[in-house]
Amino acid sequence: MNETATAGKLYVLGVGPGGSDLVTVRAARILSELDVIYTPTGKKGTKSLAHSIIEEYLSPNTHVCTYHFLMKADMSAKQAVWDEVAQNLKEEVANGRKVGFITLGDPMLFSTWVFLLQRLVSQQMTSPSWLEIVPGITSFSAIAAASAMPLAMEDQTLAVIACTASEAVLEQALLNYDCIVLMKVYSRFSLICDLLQRHNLLEHALMMADATLPTEQCWHNLATLSFSEKERMQELSYFSTILVNKNWQLSR
Ligand SMILES: C[S@@+](CC[C@H](N)C(=O)[O-])C[C@H]1O[C@@H](n2cnc3c(N)ncnc32)[C@H](O)[C@@H]1O
C-alpha cells in the first residue's frame, strides 16, 4: 500500500487472554475511536472470545464487521479468506477510515493476523505509517502471573512451542530448554503427558485452561493428575496451555 496516499489507518489490537480488564489502556483508547472493527468468528453467527472481551470499549458509532476464518478447511480455502480480509482492510484504509482488527493475546504470537500482515506489508520494510500494532498480554504471561510460576530467570533458556509440532520437535524442546511453554495442547494432551513423564517433568508442569476467564481452571502439578482426570482431558478447552520450569518445584 502507498505510504502517503491515505489518511486512514489500520490498528491491530492485541486484546489479551480473556479478562476485559487485561486490555491495555492504549488498545481501549483506540477501540473507542474506530470507524470500523473487524472481529473474527470461529463459527458463523457466533461472537468470538476476542469480540466479547472488547465490546465494552467500543463506541456505538463503530461499525462491526464479522469475518469467518475457516479453522478446519484446506489451505487454499483458508488462503482465499486471508486474501479477501487483507483486501478489505486495504480498501478501508485507502478510503481514509480508522479500522481495527482484534486478536487474542498478542498479535505477533501464533496469530492469524500474521497471514494478513504478509499480504499487506513487504517483509523488508519497517512498519508503515498507516499501520499500528498494539501488543497484548499473551496467554502464557497471564498464566505465569495467575499461578505464580516464573517463566524463566537469569541464564535459563525458554522455548515457546505449539503442540501441533512433531513429537520429535516437542521432545527436543523438553530436553534442550530449562523452561518450556506448550501452546495448543487440546488434542495432544495425552502425547504431551507421556513425553513429560518420560523425562520426569510432570511435577515441574502446570496447565491452565481459560486463563483469566470465569471458567479458568488450573492443574497445578501434572504429576498429581488422577487417571480419571486424564481421561476427562479428552475434552480440554482449546484455550489450554502448559508451562514447564525445570527449576521450579510445584507443590503436590
Ligand atoms: C492461536 S494461539 C493464540 C495465542 C495468542 N496470540 C497469545 O498471545 O496467547 C491459541 C493458543 O493460545 C493459548 N491460549 C490463548 N488464550 C488462552 C487462555 N485464556 N488460557 C490458556 N491458554 C490460552 C492456548 O494454548 C491456545 O491453544
How many Å apart are CA 15 and CA 22, to the nearest integer?
7
Relative to beta strand 240-245, strand 179-183 is antiparallel
- The number of the ligand 1 atom at minimal distance from the alpha carbon of 137 is 8
Whether the predicted pLDDT of 7 surpasses 60: yes
- The rounded mean pLDDT for the chain is 92
Q: Whose CA is nearest to atom 23 of ligand 1?
A: 239
Q: Whose CA is nearest to atom 11 of ligand 1?
A: 184
For residues 129-152, average pLDDT:
97
Cα 196 to ligand 1 centroid, rounded to whole Å: 20
Residue 247's nearest CA partner among 153, 172, 175 is: 153
How many Å apart are CA 234 and CA 229, to the nearest integer?
9
- 25-39, 92-106, 111-125: lowest mean pLDDT where? 111-125
Distance of CA 229 to the CA centre of its chain: 26
**pLDDT band at residue 230 using 50, 70 and 90 as cut-offs:** confident
How many Å apart are CA 56 and CA 201, to the nearest integer?
41
